[in-house]
Structures are given as C-alpha cells and as structure tokens.
Chain A
Amino acid sequence: MLDLIWLLPTFPLLGFLILALTEGKLARGPAGWIGAGSVGLSFAVAALVAVSFLQSGIESHTVPIWTWMSVAGFDPGVNLYLDGLSLVMILVITGVGFLIHVYSTGYMADDPDFSRFFCYMNLFVFAMLLLVLGDNLLLLYLGWEGVGLCSYLLIGFWYDDPYNGYAARKAFVVTRVGDTAMAIGLFLLFAQLGTLNIQEMLHAAEAEWPIGSTLPAITALLLLGGAVGKSAQLPLQTWLPDAMAGPTPISALIHAATMVTAGVYLIARTHTLFELAPDIQLLVAWVGLITLLMAGFTAMTQNDIKRILAYSTVSQIGYMFLGLGVGAWSGAIFHLMTHAFFKALLFLGAGAVILSLHHEQDIFRMGAKRKQLPVGFLCFLIGGLALTAFPYTSGYFSKDEILIAALEVEGQGLWLWLGGVIGAFFTGIYTFRLFFVVFFGESRGHHDAIEVKGLNIAVPLFILMALSLFGGWIPVPLDAVFSHGAEHEEHHISAFMHGVMIALPLIGIGISYLFYGSGTFSVEKLMSLPASRALHRFWDSGWGMDRLYDLLFVNPFLYLARVNAKDIVDAFYDMLAAISRAGHLLIVRTQTGYLRWYALSMAAGLVALIAVGVLL
C-alpha cells in the first residue's frame, strides 16, 4: 500500500498534461472534473497511505521510482520518501488543495480561462507534492522552483492588467533572491557531504560536524535564506501582499495553505542542521518574531480584505518560524496544519464575500453584511476565532505549543514568549476589526448584495469550518521524525502565564469591538493626532519596506549607474580605451571577415602547437 505514493504526484501531473495538451479546448465541465478530480484522487491515495503508514508503525519508507543517470557517484534518483513529516504535508496539500479545487470550480465558473487555471493548479499541486516527497535535494529543488513558477503563473493569471504582471514579477524576483541563497546552500551541502539524499546527508552532517562549527552555520543560514524567501519572512516578505493580485482561490491555496509553508517544511526537514547551528536557530526564532509583530501592526491598518489576510498569513508563518527557532518542531508543523485549515477558510470566505459584492475588496465599503452573507459571516466568525487562538479552536492548541516552547528557551525565552503573546493580542485586534467592519455597523455600499450560491462553494467552506474548529484534536505523527531532538515532555507553566496567553487575544477582540463594533471609541479621534496618522501611514505601507528597498538597493543602483556615466574615473578608462583601440587597430587587420582566413589561422595555430609539443 505504501508503494502507492508514486500515484500521488502522478494524478495532478496527468491532470496538468491533459489540460495543457488540450490547450483550453476542453469544455468547462470536463476541465473542472479533471482539475479537481485528479487532486481528489491524490487525496484518496494519500488517505490510504496515511492509514497503512500509521498502522505499520514504521518510521519512514522510501519508494525508488527511477534513476535518472549514474555518473561517477552522482546518481540522482526520483525516489519518494515518506515519514511523519511528509505524511502531514501531503495530507494538508491534497486535502486542503482538493477542497480549494472544488471551491474553484464554483469561483472561477465564469472565467474565460477556466481550463488554464486548473492546469496551473494541478501543476502546482504536483510540484508541491514533489517538494515534500522527494528524498534528495535535487528533487526538492525541482519542486521548490516548480511551485515558484506556478506562483508566478497564477499571480499573473489575469495578465491583461499590467499591475498583476508587476505583482507576479515582484514575487518571482524577490523569492529568487532567497532561492539563490538556497541553491548555494544545496551546492555547499553536496560538495561537503557528497550526497544528495537528504537523510544520508543529515546523518553525515551529524557525524562529521561538531555543534556550533562554521559549516553548519553557513549552510543553515543559506537554507534559511531560501526559506524566508518562499515563506515571506523578513526581509523578503514584501512580495506576499502584492501576490494577492491573483484569483482568491490561489491566495488560499498557494499564499496561505501550502506554498508559503515550504520554507517551514524545509527547515523542519533539515532540522538536524539547525540543531548543529544553535545561533542560526535562534536567528530563525527572532526572524519569525519580528516578522509576526511587523505584519501584525501592518494588518491593523490595511483596508483591502485580502491584504489583511495576507499580512496575517505573514504573521502566522512568523509563529511557525518562531516555533522552529525554539525547537518546537512538531508545534510548528502542527501550526502549519491548523493554519492551513483556518487560513484557507478565511480566504475562501473572503472569496465568497468578494464575489458576492462584485469584486469589492475594500472593507470600508461593506458593512452590516451578516444578514446578506450568512455563510461568509460564519466563515469569518469561525476562522477568526481559530486565528486568534480562541480556547479550544484549532489555532489555540498549536499556538500554545509554540509559545510554551518559546518560554523554555534559556536566556531570551521570556522575550520571545512576550513578543509572541503581544503578536496574538494584535491578531485579535486586526482579525476582529475586519470582522466587525464587514459584518456589523451600517452598510456602506452594495446594499442589495446576494450571496453566491452553489454546493461546490458551500461544501468546502463547511468542511473547512469543521476542521478549523476541531482540527486541534488531530494527532500529528511527528514524534518519530523529531524524537532524537528534545524529548517530548510535559510542559510546566504557571497558571498566570497561561492565563495571560488566553486573555490577551480576548482583550484584543474586546478592543476591536469597542472601536469597530460598538463605536465606544472613535477611530477618527485617534486619527486626529498627527503622530498616530504618521504611524498609520508607516504601518500601512508595510513598515515602508518597499520604500526601504527602493532606498537601499534600487536607488543607489540607479544613482551609481547615473553617476558612473560621466565621472573622473572615466579618464583612466579612456586611456585604457585608447590603448586597446591602438591594439585593436593592429589586430583588426587580421579580422578580414573571410572565413577561410580564420580557418587558415586556426590551422596555423594547430601547426604551431604541434611544433611546440614536438620540440619540447
């Protein structure tokens, strides 16, 4: 049964090939069936595999499929590797992916490029499965770049609008910065450890490298570079909010549930390396913490419903990084899973709202929509509660695990914990700000909106609601993967700390109610202060990161280019140019343009070479 996992990537690949080769000539019906069905079949296989994997009780299983070539010890194979980690990942990818595909058949029903959409989606699922199932770095990298490509294609899906193309390019280029670092890291690992197989490589690293030495630090840092690029963490987070230009199901699938978690997966997969480099691991924690706080602040100031969710995604992935950094490997992956549930729910709910309101995305032009959009209301209520870690929703369990683990880090633990809790507080504020503004208060537009109907939209939403509420009780079979690290022990934490962790998000909800629900406090009054206006502008622009990068990289480059056009250094180069021109005038006589002349010189050179060889 376990050998069936080769079917997992095969179905989406077949779906992609069929849809690509029919060039969009397929009718919507069959195209939707193929697109969603292939992922559904994958999910069925994944479920079968999961059952038999858990029953068998083995730690890991490798399925060799094919060896591409075998040259001088370099034998990259297409081998699939299954363990607890990849099991969780494939279940999330195919499960949530399937729901989103079904949802998309409704959401994209009127789009002229229906079949192209599913074509890209299937390719994406294929690449993502390859990423998490590959047992060697080459396959992982193939999947990694494959999802990057799909992300580019899908963000720019509506390529008629130049802005979408810009957003797609930005996502591609920014993640490429991280990918370059990662590629160098992979080369370094291969060069140093001599194997591409991830497990062998990790064992070799453990055996050869002492803890805290330079090489693991460098490789871990480079891999972290790749991870922050793909997972939209500081300093490469700027692409994700712009990536909301794509269709909403894409935002749900790629930019919330699966692709952006690839960085988390990468770090979890190579966690041995990070354990060998404690400094870098701590860096991971701080990157996550700072990102989650910055994204939290920014989310509070946004007006676009999807951008709020995008910043919240950045922030939640920050939590995962925090978890990874403090050694709560299973906690991070657990949070990855629950986050996939409720963030997919929120995005799909947002999609339903947007579609119902004729592609309106500004929350301040909605208001009082709970009667008109009951399903969307329910989505946001449940998703929002899970996102703010309301007790006993799925987000509560996973976030708890991360924060408790953070507290246990020696030295900086309290700070990390405090940051995480404050982040949770902001999560409460921005999530329910969105909620109250959209669904309560007075209607500020679209008074006669009617909610979109259709089982293929409603059913995935209800399943995701259930998962968001009860997903916290799903047992994650990760102990075998991470067991050799910190032993799984009962956490001891004082009741006060725990109380704080539960209370702060609730206080956040309360504050946002006071501002946006009951109107007790007035936002206008707050905004009348110039300082708060400036702060609002600053946060609204995402801490000015785009401007900062313009300032730091783009403008200096342009400036240098301009300055370099005519400066005194040129004189020196002019001299060089004059010399080389003189040489050129000499040599130009040999450049007759006649091919036979060139051939003659080559032959003469050959003769001379042989002569030298013979004489010496």
Chain B
Amino acid sequence: MGAIPVEHGLILAGILFSLGLIGVLTRRNIVFVLMSLEVMLNACGLAFIVAGSRWEQADGQIMFLLILTLAAAEVAVGLSLIIQMYRRFQTVDINVLSELKG
C-alpha cells in the first residue's frame, strides 16, 4: 500500500481547508458555521496524517488524536452555546449576535 505522493495528500488537505473556510464565511446559520469549522479541523488532521505517513512515524496520528480531542471539546462547548443562543434569541442566525461591537 501507500506510494501516494505526499503532495497530493497535502493538496487534498488544502482543498478541504479552503472549502471549510468558504463555509465559515458564507453561512449565516451558526450550526453550519460550526460544521464548516469541523471540516477545517479535519483538514488539519489530514495534513498531519499525511506527514506522519511520509516519515513512517506515529507522531502524525498522535497529533490527529489531539486535534480530535480539541474538536470534541470545541463541539461540546459550541453546541451548548448554540442551545443557549437559541433559548435566548430563538434563532440560529449568527448576525443577530452582533451586539459586541465597538
């Protein structure tokens, strides 16, 4: 197995990251924003795995595990914030939360 150019794996990670970025920037529904964030995080994990595979080291997978942990914590907090937001404003429109401005 293997023998896939590292370049291609990294480019795939780059594409996924950019797609996630577009999602974060264009969506108004906060659940979508969070989902796009997940896409971006996952792309980062992919990059680590590709690098780990290139050097045949476990470190890439370990970094991925840490990203996974981060994602789990982030989603738990993020979703509970969404629930709070929905309870308070009855909407998932992120533009409603624009009171914190200069």
Contact = CB atoms under 8 A, between A and B. Distances in A.
Direct contact of A and B (CB under 8 A): yes
Interface of A: 584, 587-596, 599-600, 603
Contacts of A589: 102
Contacts of B65: none
Given A590-B102, A593-B98, 9 more contacts: A588-B102, A589-B102, A591-B101, A591-B102, A592-B101, A594-B94, A595-B33, A596-B26, A596-B94
A603 B19 CA distance: 13
Contacts of B33: 595-596
A588 B26 CA distance: 23
Contact of B24 (A584, A588, A596): A596
B68 interface: no
| Interface residue tally on B, bucketed by range | 10 to 19
Contacts of B25: 596, 599-600, 603
B47 to A, nearest CB: 14
A466 to B, nearest CB: 60
Contacts of A603: 21, 25
B97 interface: yes
Given A596-B25, A603-B21, A603-B25, A587 B98 contact: no
Nearest to A584: B102
B95 interface: yes
B100 interface: yes
11 contacts: A588-B101, A589-B102, A591-B101, A594-B94, A594-B98, A595-B94, A595-B97, A596-B33, A599-B24, A603-B21, A603-B25
Interface of B: 21, 24-26, 28, 33, 94-95, 97-102
B76 to A, nearest CB: 19
A593 B21 contact: no
A592 B24 contact: no
Contacts of B28: 596
B63 to A, nearest CB: 17
A593 B101 contact: yes
Most buried by B among A590, A591, A593, A603: A593
A481 B33 CA distance: 66
Contacts of B94: 594-596
Nearest to B22: A603
Contacts of B21: 603
B100 A593 contact: yes
A444 to B, nearest CB: 66
A589 B98 CA distance: 13
A112 B75 CA distance: 46
Listed from nearest, the 4 A-B pairs whose CB atoms lie closest are: A593-B98, A593-B101, A588-B102, A591-B102
Nearest to A603: B21
A216 B33 CA distance: 57
Most buried by B among A594, A596, A603: A596
B24 A593 contact: no
B16 to A, nearest CB: 15
A595 B99 CA distance: 11
Contacts of B95: 594, 596
Nearest to A591: B102
A587 B24 contact: no
B37 to A, nearest CB: 9
Contacts of A587: 102
A595 B97 CA distance: 8
Contacts of B97: 593, 595
Nearest to B21: A603
A587 B102 CA distance: 8
A426 to B, nearest CB: 62
A600 B33 CA distance: 13
Contacts of A599: 24-25
Nearest to A606: B21
Contacts of B98: 592-594
A333 B100 CA distance: 62
A585 to B, nearest CB: 9
Nearest to A587: B102
A594 B27 CA distance: 12
Nearest to B37: A599
Contacts of A591: 101-102
A603 B26 CA distance: 13
A599 B97 CA distance: 14
Contacts of A588: 101-102
A596 B32 CA distance: 12
Contacts of B99: 593
Nearest to A600: B25
A490 B99 CA distance: 81
Contacts of B100: 593
Contacts of B102: 584, 587-591
Contacts of B101: 588, 591-593
A584 B102 CA distance: 8
A590 B101 CA distance: 9
Nearest to A599: B24
A587 to B, nearest CB: 7
Contacts of B26: 596
Most buried by A among B28, B99, B102: B102
A580 to B, nearest CB: 12
